[in-house]
Structure 1
Amino acid sequence: MTESDTCLRDRLVDAGVELLAAEGLQALTLREIARRTGVSHGAPRRHFPTHLDLLSAIARRGFADLAGRARGALDRETGGVRAQAAALARAYLEFALEQPGMYDLMFRHDLLESDRLGLRESSLPLFSLLTGLIAADGPDTDAPRVAGALWANLHGMAQLWRRRSLQLATGEEDFEALLETVLAAHLGPGDGR
């Protein structure tokens, strides 16, 4: 692949990321991404043979962004393992709430099941990081199972919070208090952070 091919490929993904943030998942069409990039509507197919391939490349960008946020949160956290797990959970939820279109795209089953462009591999390092933190906190625990349950709880919390269902059901407007309850349910009591 030539440098200009790589540049166009990156520009197409950039345009998709921007379109997703501005207009949501339903706006992500090959034709609209091509228009925003200033190329013919057939040009994206040189780099992305199918629409799912382009969506997967955009989702990989989302996983890279989320991973960067997670690393940053862990780098800033000076507390113990539970505090690091809380920082990781908070980064995950903040990403989901700040970038709902990208978050929805990243967890589309058709993309993950087809494993287009190694998307499944892009999603696993964060789970492995959470599993490692849980294992370090309690080596006698079944870390993958606890991490899976915590992740499922966080994912559900993100979805329900975005739709204001949790606030309606619980009367709770304090995101942090609900997050602490989730963490306590899976990791035990903490320092209240």
Structure 2
Amino acid sequence: MPSERTNDAPSPGGLRERLVDTGVALVDTEGAAALSLREIARRAGVSHGAPRRYFPTHLELLSAIARRGFTDLGERATRALADASPDPREQVAVLSRLYLDFAARHRGMYELMFRHDLLESGELGLRDSSLPLFKVLVELVAEIRTDAEPAVVAGALWANLHGVAQLWGWGSLQLAVGVEDVEPLLTSVLDAHLGPA
């Protein structure tokens, strides 16, 4: 049986990255509630105290995992926009679909990414991870809605998408609206904030 020292030895990419990788896999399969330091350490094959060398608090480890989610979402957005029509409204639609799809497919990560305590923790800088994609949305809205403050419209659009993502994930919208596909809701959200297509 390997010693604890051997298990905690740096791996390719380092123990810090292995802990974050393990947390990302765990949140995707079991949700944010499963992300205890002890469980991440167990699944990473290290002692339960090992994560504290890199993450003195549980909040810091959760923030590192959530930051990975923002990076993933940002990379997906970059690829999707590169393949999209140059029309700003179509690009907003592509980003919106991507956002809703990410929320549906990566429910645990999505919920972790927008936890208030993680976003508000200034020293961890997670809020900075959430802003680049919003900035892209603001720039696109500015091209579409020249009659309004783009950041305000983009904020309202994002809030609406976030609500759709949450309520869809809970099954509430399907029940209330009687639809099986989120597309009609997305069309309505885009029309409400950007004007009819």
Is the shorter-chain TM-score for this pair beyond 0.5, marking a shared fold?
A: yes
Can you list the C-alpha shifts for 1:33-76, whole angstroms capped at 9, x where unaligned?
A: 11111111111000000000000000000000110111111111
Shift of 1:172: 1.6
1:153 paired to 2:160: yes
Can you list the C-alpha shifts for 1:112-138, whole angstroms capped at 9, x where unaligned?
A: 111352101000001111000001223
1:67 paired to 2:89: no
Q: Compared with structure 1, are the counterparts of its residues 63 and 45 closer, same or farther at alpha carbon in structure 2 (3 Å cutoff)? A: same
Counterpart of 2:184 in structure 1 is 177
Counterpart of 1:121 in structure 2 is 128
Once residues 100 and 20 of structure 1 are traced to their aligned partners in structure 2, the CA distance between those partners, rounded to angstroms, is 8
- Partners of 1:63 and 1:122 within 8 A in 2: yes
Counterpart of 2:144 in structure 1 is 137
Once residues 171 and 94 of structure 2 are traced to their aligned partners in structure 1, the CA distance between those partners, rounded to angstroms, is 23
How many residues are aligned here? 188
Counterpart of 2:44 in structure 1 is 37
Once residues 148 and 91 of structure 2 are traced to their aligned partners in structure 1, the CA distance between those partners, rounded to angstroms, is 17
TM-score between both structures, scaled by the size of structure 1: 0.93
Counterpart of 2:92 in structure 1 is 85
Question: Quick check: 48-57 or 15-24, which moved more?
Answer: 15-24
Once residues 169 and 138 of structure 1 are traced to their aligned partners in structure 2, the CA distance between those partners, rounded to angstroms, is 31
Counterpart of 1:50 in structure 2 is 57
Unaligned runs of 5+ in 1: none
Shift of 1:139: 2.7
- Partners of 1:24 and 1:101 within 8 A in 2: yes
Counterpart of 2:110 in structure 1 is 103
- Counterpart of 1:17 (choices 12, 21, 24) is 24
Q: Secondary structure at the match of 1:189?
A: coil
Once residues 15 and 167 of structure 2 are traced to their aligned partners in structure 1, the CA distance between those partners, rounded to angstroms, is 37
Shift of 1:181: 0.7
Once residues 115 and 60 of structure 1 are traced to their aligned partners in structure 2, the CA distance between those partners, rounded to angstroms, is 13
Q: CA RMSD in A?
A: 1.4
> 4+ residue stretches of structure 1 with deviation over 3 A?
3-6
Unaligned runs of 5+ in 2: 1-8
Q: Which letter does structure 1 place at the counterpart of 2:171? A: R
